[in-house]
Amino acid sequence: MKLTFLYQPVSDLQTAVEFYRDGLGWDEAWRESDDTVAFWTPDRAAQVMLSYTEQPAGPMYLVDDLGGWIAEHADLEVVIARYEIPGGTVAGFAAPGGSVFYVFDQPDA
C-alpha cells in the first residue's frame, strides 16, 4: 500500500484551489473534468485531491489489485462500495474512531 492521495471534499472548488495554489503555493498536479483538482504536497510524496463528491475525507492508498487486496482483508468493514475511477477502481473502509480510508488500483492508467 502506498499513500497516494489525501482526499478532501469541498463545496467551493475554486476557493479551495486558490487556497492551495495561492495561499500555500502548492503546484497543481492534475485536473479531472470540472469537479476534481489535485495538488502536490511540498515534498511530492502525495497529493491533496479536492473534489465536489459527498464522500468523507480520508487517505487513499494505491495497491496493485483492489480485488485481491479486499479478499486478503475481508474482515474490514466496507463503508463505500467499490466503484470505477479513471483507469481503475476504489473502495472505502471504516477505520478506528469513525474515520474512513480508501484503497484503489489503477491497472489501466
The structural domain count of the chain equals 2
Q: Per-residue pLDDT tens for 67-104?
A: 999 999 999 999 999 999 989 999 999 999 999 999 99
Which pLDDT does position 22 carry in this prediction? 96
Q: Are 2 and 61 in contact (CB under 8 A)?
A: yes
- 72 and 100 in a single domain? The answer is yes
DSSP string computed for the chain = -EEEEEEEE-S-HHHHHHIIIIIS-PPEEEEETTTEEEEE-TTSSSEEEEE---SPPEEEEE-S-HHHHHHHTTTSPEEEEEEEETTEEEEEEE-GGG-EEEEEE-TT-
User: Which pTM value belongs to this model?
Assistant: 0.90
Structural domain range at position 48: 1-54
- 44 and 80 in a single domain? The answer is no
